[in-house]
Structure 1
Amino acid sequence: MQHTVSTKTLLKASASATLVAIVALITFILPAEYNIDPTGIGQELGLTVLAAASATETPNESAQAGSDEYQVIEVIVPAGQGVEYKFNLQQYDKMTYEWLTDGPSLYFDLHGEPQGDTTGYFESYAIATLSGMKGSFTAPFAGSHGWYWKNKSDKPIAVQLMVKGQYEVIGLKQ
């Protein structure tokens, strides 16, 4: 007995399969592989941790210096606290960046401290309270440059920081 499937049935099946694939992509694959979680379900299921772990679990020497490709760094800002993440840049080195949080906005200060300075001087380039920012800057002097983020909420907030350019990673500054 031969069974034929109508074109209408095939179109319905194809549309259903496409819809299931889109839902799986948005709900599971993007959060787990790329730490992109438009629905928030990935974080609830713990999938965003997988993307963060894969981005940070295999550091090597070449990943610690700037390049033409974005380096992805995850920084956790504890509840009610602030952290500083820094890079060493020479005068006129350029860094392109983008950062975003997985939750509420953070107070931040993008600033630099001159190399060898013992007076405590620093120069701020941007100060605001935002959940993300994108841009670039050219170091006006040699020294450490980076972000201070302050979390005023009662839960830790993850910052995904993407950078490229001419720099050496200093990392979290205590």
Structure 2
Amino acid sequence: MYNSDTPVRAELPSSRQLVRSTILAAVSAAVLLVAVVLPAEYGIDPTGIGRVLRMTEMGDIKQQLAAEAAADAAAAATAAPAPASASASAKAAGPTLGMASANASQPTASAASKVQWRDETPFTLTPGEGIEIKLKMAAGGKVPYSWAVEGGSVNFDTHGDAPGKSVSYEKGRGVSSDEGVLTAEFTGNHGWFWRNRGQADVKVILRTRGDYTDITKVK
């Protein structure tokens, strides 16, 4: 009376086939999680595929943005008016501290200008913009560096990465300059990420020399 086709029992998948399909689906999902989702969302790349496909950089930037947003929220939540006495003390100490800071930074700038640098990399960051500069270094390599901001300050993260490896050397917020020696913990890319959280454009000049074979700018 009805023309609908009813599958016979032999055409239905067996329990073994269903189990096998489920296992294959679970394995495929796990592969996608490890090879795509972790690098692209969290900067975690245990297989190295994310680095090859340039997805790990996107994950690193997402994590940096999330960390900055959390730190901004925490700072705003904990900020409170200072007591009158503390405020008066701060005002009284302010000129002295400012003069000490200016005097301390002057020799640094002068010394940096006299060093024979291998590369000088200037760039401009608009409000909210970030940039990353990477150096290819071998394990144990040392790179003396100096960078300074004109027109404001930046947030920064000094870090390194390689297939299956990552390290954060130093982080800072609202910093106008930094200098030192970057020592590679492993063979790979090592360098800096800067972001301008101010309301105006800033210019950053990075100067480097030492044990590296290549320098790359990533936006």
Residues 30-76 of structure 1 deviation map (CA, whole Å, 9 limit, x = unaligned) = xxxxxx9xxxxxxxxxxxxxxxxxxxxxxxxxxxxxxx744211122
Structure 1 residue aligned with 2:213: 168
Q: How far, CA to CA, are the matches of 1:122 and 1:77 in structure 2?
A: 25
Q: Is the aligned partner of 1:128 residue 2:172? A: yes
Structure 1 residue aligned with 2:147: 99
RMSD: 1.8
Higher deviation after alignment, 163-172 or 98-107: 163-172
Report if aligned partners of 2:153, 2:202 keep a CA contact under 8 Å in 1: no
Matches within 5 A, 1:1-174: 69-114=117-162, 116-117=163-164, 121-129=165-173, 130-174=175-219
Q: How far, CA to CA, are the matches of 1:143 and 1:76 in structure 2?
A: 26
Which residue identity does 1:173 align to in structure 2?
V
Q: How far, CA to CA, are the matches of 1:139 and 1:91 in structure 2?
A: 5
TM-score by length of 2: 0.44
> Higher helix fraction: Structure 1 or Structure 2?
2
Report if aligned partners of 2:117, 2:207 keep a CA contact under 8 Å in 1: no
Per the TM alignment, residue 122 of structure 1 is displaced from its structure 2 partner at its CA by 2.4
Question: Which is greater in Rg?
Answer: 2
Residues 97-138 of structure 1 deviation map (CA, whole Å, 9 limit, x = unaligned) = 000000211000000002x33xxx521111012100010021
Query: CA, structure 1 residues 163+170, in 2 after alignment: closer, same or farther (shift >3 Å)?
Result: closer
Query: CA, structure 1 residues 94+81, in 2 after alignment: closer, same or farther (shift >3 Å)?
Result: same
Q: How far, CA to CA, are the matches of 2:158 and 2:183 in structure 1?
A: 12
User: Which one has more relative contact order, counting CA pairs under 8 Å at least 6 apart?
Assistant: 1
In structure 2, runs of 5+ residues without a counterpart are 1-108, 110-115
Per the TM alignment, residue 158 of structure 1 is displaced from its structure 2 partner at its CA by 1.1
> Higher strand fraction: Structure 1 or Structure 2?
1
Query: CA, structure 1 residues 171+76, in 2 after alignment: closer, same or farther (shift >3 Å)?
Result: farther
Per the TM alignment, residue 170 of structure 1 is displaced from its structure 2 partner at its CA by 3.3
Report sequence identity in percent. Answer: 30
Report if aligned partners of 2:119, 2:208 keep a CA contact under 8 Å in 1: yes
Q: How far, CA to CA, are the matches of 1:80 and 1:93 in structure 2?
A: 32
Secondary structure of the structure 2 residue equivalent to 1:165:
coil
Per the TM alignment, residue 89 of structure 1 is displaced from its structure 2 partner at its CA by 0.4
Report if aligned partners of 2:153, 2:198 keep a CA contact under 8 Å in 1: no
